[in-house]
Amino acid sequence: MPPYDPPLIELKHVSKRFGKLVVLDDLSLSLNRGETTVVIGESGTGKSVMLKHIVGLIRPDEGEVWFDGQRIDQLPERDLVPIRKRMGFLFQMAALFDSLTVGENVAFPLTEHSKFDQAKIDEIASEKLRMVGLDGLQERRPGQISGGQKKRVALARAIALDPEVVFYDEPTTGLDPVRADVINELILKLKRELSVTSLVVTHDMVSAFKVGDRVVMLDRGKIIADHKPDWFKTCDDPRVRRFVDGKAGPEDLEALEND
């Protein structure tokens, strides 16, 4: 028997409400080291909210969040810093700092958290930018580059501190299919070269099948499916089927008829 390897990240019975709206409903999920888990589901089913719970940006109403054997959902912000340094977060809208150049954005986590001198920081920043294929754009402002480039810069920033786990919040949304595939390849490359644990939130099935070792489907704050990607290609649960095939459901069509 292999030695017991606890999951890197664990959500235990997490519930979250915003006002009267239940976003996460007694959700439990654990992520294994080195694995890429993809979370799919319609917009508004709590995917991003779940992601933000793991980084401590949102606190659960009930339940627990564990990271590497430590409970983190009740830690004060200051004690979360060492944990957050081990995580990289790629935001849906890239969230680059407008006031800084591309180079400064990528160097930001290093400037804040490392003891390196400026030359070393610049060297690491351009190495990370080279990984996403954008070395040389250091002097540009975030407003001067395209949406796809922004996401790649944001990814370079997310991996600046060589995190153990990277969270991707809809990494391919809003990109053309070619750019989207560049991002997918990057996710695979990071896993290969840095052996990071990844959690990808998306509703892009092409991406989910390509990068996922395991796919979890959320619906109304609950997990309704948790399997290998291949299972989703053949499964016949109507809710899963509709999402995977990208078909509107009967109630959606009915709503259109009544207009």
Partner 1 sequence: MKSIQQLGDFFIFSWQAFAAMFRGGFDRRNWRLLIPQLYEVGYRSLPVILITGAFVGMVIAVQAVEQFRAMGLEERMGTLVNLSVVRELGPVLAGIMLAGRIGGALTAELGTMNVTEQIDALRSMGVNPMRYLVAPRVLACTVLTPTLTFFADFTGAAGGWFVSVVVEGVPAGPYWDFTQQSVTNFDLYSGIFKSVFFGAALGLIACFCGFNCRPGASGVGKACTTSFVISFIAILAIDFVLAQILQDIQLSIYGFQPVL
- In the complex, what is the shortest distance from the CB of residue 114 to partner 1, in angstroms, rounded to a whole number? 12
**108: contact with partner 1 by CB under 8 A:** yes
**52: contact with partner 1 by CB under 8 A:** yes
Residues within window 113-152 making contact with partner 1, judged by CB under 8 A: 113
Looking at beta carbons only, is 95 or 145 nearer to partner 1? 95
Considering only residues 87, 125, 156, 175, which one is a binding residue for partner 1 as defined by CB under 8 A? 87
Q: How far apart are CA 248 and CA 178, in angstroms?
A: 25
- Tokens 């060589």 belong to 162
- Tokens 């099948």 belong to 209
**59: contact with partner 1 by CB under 8 A:** no
Which residues on neighbouring strands pair with residue 10, listed in sequence order?
Answer: 30, 66
- In the complex, what is the shortest distance from the CB of residue 181 to partner 1, in angstroms, rounded to a whole number? 24
**188: contact with partner 1 by CB under 8 A:** no
Cα-to-chain-centroid distance, residue 83: 16
Closest alpha carbon to 20 in 74, 53, 61, 56: 61
- Tokens 């619906």 belong to 219
Please work out, in degrees rounded to the nearest 5, the angle formed at the alpha carbon of residue 134 by the alpha carbons of 133 and 140. 170
**109: contact with partner 1 by CB under 8 A:** yes
Residues that bind partner 1 (CB under 8 A): 52, 55-57, 77-78, 80-82, 84-85, 87, 89, 91-93, 95-98, 108-109, 112-113, 157
